[in-house]
Amino acid sequence: MVQPNSQNRMSGRQINPEQYARLKAEVAAPYRGMRKFIYIAGGASGFIGAFIFLFQVLAGRNLDAALPNLALQVGIVTLMVFLWRWENRR
Whole-angstrom distance, CA of residue 45 vs CA of residue 84: 15
15 — phi, psi (to 5°)? -85, 125
pLDDT digits (tens, 9 = 90+) for 2-33: 565 554 455 557 888 998 888 888 888 788 88
pLDDT digits (tens, 9 = 90+) for 28-84: 878 888 999 999 999 999 999 999 999 999 999 999 999 999 999 999 999 999 999
pTM of the prediction?
0.71
20 — phi, psi (to 5°)? -60, -45
Whole-angstrom distance, CA of residue 21 vs CA of residue 13: 17
